[in-house]
Structure 1
Amino acid sequence: MSITTGLEGRSVVVTGAGSGIGRATALRFAAEGAKVLVADLDARGARDVVAEIGKSGGTAVAVVGDLSEQSVVDEVVATAVNSFGGVDVLVNNAGVMDRMSAVADTDDGEWERVLRVNLTAPFLLTRAALPHMLAAGRGAIVSTASEASLRGSAAGAAYTASKHGVVGLTKSLAVMYRDKGIRANAIAPGGTATNIRVDAEQGAHGPATVGSYLHNMGRPAAAEEQAAAILFLASDAASNISGAVLPVDDGWSAV
């Protein structure tokens, strides 16, 4: 039996798609014939990806804004529906790092920003997209969790909590909508070559503690390797997979 991705002509929303894993993911979906909405806070990055997809004969539009704001979320979903006829796939990929801060050193601003971008934004986007998926009787949601969603030694308190939350949201979705044609999965990237930087305070308790564990992380992945896993989980090749968290980490989670 031959299994295809089934993504040709599908409407796909990819957040954080202006660079890194999101960019690689948007390009992979477009190469499969999907119509891609590129969402990012960086206007230039988002529009460059749209232009790159267009030059390759694909179809893409951009929405620029802060995805933790409800008005931007509404614009993303409305644009996908109006431009492509619906939302078949949602990739919750946009995220920010914390400062590797331990709980006692995490101020309100760091906590609230990281939770808002990494967890609340995926919740808002998923909630907005679900009615369109439910009306169609199908949909795939893939979220970017992290190695930090599997352990307590890969990031600071805020990032770790946010990514554990992404896994909880994913599993809840998989259970609540399993009889409605909706699948929800996540990837858990290990170290990946992207433009995300950690603004850690040198000598602070959190970075010093986490740093002592990072020697087990193995080979950093290319963004394209993470994108391949996202595309698989969104595709018809993964039609009976839901509620899964797939580590893409060179075996780090097995150590």
Structure 2
Amino acid sequence: MNTSPLDLSGRRVLVTGAGSGIGRALALELAVRRCSLVLAGRRAAPLEETARLVTGRGGTARAVTHDLTSERGPEQAVEDAVRILGGLDVLVNNAGNVRAGALDEDIAAADIHAMVGLNLLAPILATRAALPHLRAAGAAHGHAVVLGIASGAALVGMPYYSVYAATKAGLARFDEALRRELWGSGVHVATAYPGGTQTPMMESSRAGADLGYGRRPVEEVVREIVAGVEAGEVDINTQRPERRELQRLNTADPLAVDAALAPSLAAMREAVRGHRSI
């Protein structure tokens, strides 16, 4: 773990899920620091658009298309990044998907496999493949980074997001354990916990601030995430104040959270049952 400030300027970066939302915004924030980026995801067109935007911000970018849920997709994305960039300083495990609803009635087994595959298994495999290159960068300059984009759902399990919460909590604990494993290596591991954010991933949800799902602009969230990494933070919480308060209550008295949410369960299910980005 590195508790001193980190310099991200000019780094070689792989961002997964960079075609839209938080991934695209992170790529643009890193472009301002003149990073060289490889942008990985399933669809070429949005990745190419992100690459064009990165160039306009002062960075360089190449798009590579991979299904990160395939057997070798994460490893191939890392191999492409290292080949293109000549090494790797930063891995951003951002790609993710969601399917909300009642576990036994709204969520198909295929949706469960899709969330576990992309939200948890893919970042673990990508990190495993990237580690030799990140260790080399950490030994050379001490500013290598693994950044996991988890979710506020990793901190407080919300009804109708049981599988999504499980995958994001798993990513957070993976990052935490890996950070301790890499102590003194020059590889810093950080986890970001965005709450509701204005991204295409959220467009199919009808839950709003009245149900605790107020959304922040993606650019604000990403600026806080990158600033947190540069400050050497390990847990970067960008949730709205009311969600942070719910997190505090959940730590002190989880049954009180159950009781507080109970009157809104029916409305919440109706609002989120169509939330799907798979």
TM-score by length of 1: 0.84
1:215 aligns with 2:206: no
In structure 1, runs of 5+ residues without a counterpart are 201-206
Alignment partner, residue 49 of structure 1:
50
Instruction: Please give the secondary structure, in 2, of the residue aligned with 1:61.
Output: strand
Instruction: Please give the secondary structure, in 1, of the residue aligned with 2:80.
Output: helix
Q: Tell me how far apart the structure 2 counterparts of residues 21 and 100 of structure 1 sit (CA, whole Å).
A: 23
- Asked if structure 1 preserves the Cα contact closer than 8 Å seen for 2:68 and 2:118, the reply is yes
Alignment partner, residue 177 of structure 2:
172
- Asked if structure 1 preserves the Cα contact closer than 8 Å seen for 2:193 and 2:237, the reply is yes
- Asked if structure 1 preserves the Cα contact closer than 8 Å seen for 2:66 and 2:76, the reply is no
- Asked if structure 2 preserves the Cα contact closer than 8 Å seen for 1:140 and 1:184, the reply is yes
Q: Over residues 47-95 of structure 1, what are the superposed CA-to-partner deviations in whole Å (9 max), with x where a residue is unaligned? A: 0111122234421111112112243323321222222221111111111
Alignment partner, residue 61 of structure 2:
60
- Asked if structure 2 preserves the Cα contact closer than 8 Å seen for 1:18 and 1:46, the reply is yes
Q: 1:224 to 1:213 in 2, by over 3 A?
A: closer
Alignment partner, residue 143 of structure 1:
148
Q: Tell me how far apart the structure 2 counterparts of residues 80 and 54 of structure 1 sit (CA, whole Å).
A: 17
4+ residue runs of structure 1 moved beyond 6 angstroms? Answer: 211-214
- 1:170 deviates by 1.0
Alignment RMSD: 2.4
Q: Tell me how far apart the structure 2 counterparts of residues 55 and 199 of structure 1 sit (CA, whole Å).
A: 30
- Asked if structure 1 preserves the Cα contact closer than 8 Å seen for 2:66 and 2:77, the reply is no
- Number of aligned pairs? 238
Instruction: Please give the secondary structure, in 2, of the residue aligned with 1:180.
Output: coil
Query: After the TM superposition, which of the residue ranges 162-171 and 145-154 deviates more from structure 2?
Result: 145-154
Q: Tell me how far apart the structure 2 counterparts of residues 197 and 7 of structure 1 sit (CA, whole Å).
A: 29
1:231 aligns with 2:231: no
Q: 1:70 to 1:34 in 2, by over 3 A?
A: farther
Instruction: Please give the secondary structure, in 2, of the residue aligned with 1:151.
Output: coil
Instruction: Please give the secondary structure, in 2, of the residue aligned with 1:178.
Output: coil
Once the two structures are superposed, the pairs formed by residues 8-23 of structure 1 within 5 Å of their partners are 8-23=9-24
- 1:103 deviates by 5.2
TM-score by length of 2: 0.78
Q: Tell me how far apart the structure 2 counterparts of residues 161 and 168 of structure 1 sit (CA, whole Å).
A: 11
Q: Tell me how far apart the structure 1 counterparts of residues 171 and 5 of structure 2 sit (CA, whole Å).
A: 28
- Asked if structure 1 preserves the Cα contact closer than 8 Å seen for 2:99 and 2:107, the reply is no
Q: 1:150 to 1:71 in 2, by over 3 A?
A: same
- Asked if structure 2 preserves the Cα contact closer than 8 Å seen for 1:98 and 1:199, the reply is no
> Which letter does structure 2 place at the counterpart of 1:118?
N
Alignment partner, residue 244 of structure 2:
253
In structure 2, runs of 5+ residues without a counterpart are 247-278
Q: 1:215 to 1:76 in 2, by over 3 A?
A: same
Alignment partner, residue 261 of structure 2:
none
Alignment partner, residue 188 of structure 1:
193
Q: Over residues 138-188 of structure 1, what are the superposed CA-to-partner deviations in whole Å (9 max), with x where a residue is unaligned? A: 421111111110112165221011011011111111111112122111111
Instruction: Please give the secondary structure, in 1, of the residue aligned with 2:69.
Output: coil
Alignment partner, residue 203 of structure 1:
none
Q: Tell me how far apart the structure 2 counterparts of residues 112 and 82 of structure 1 sit (CA, whole Å).
A: 30
Alignment partner, residue 115 of structure 2:
114
Q: Tell me how far apart the structure 2 counterparts of residues 56 and 192 of structure 1 sit (CA, whole Å).
A: 22
Q: 1:199 to 1:7 in 2, by over 3 A?
A: closer
> Which letter does structure 2 place at the counterpart of 1:120?
L
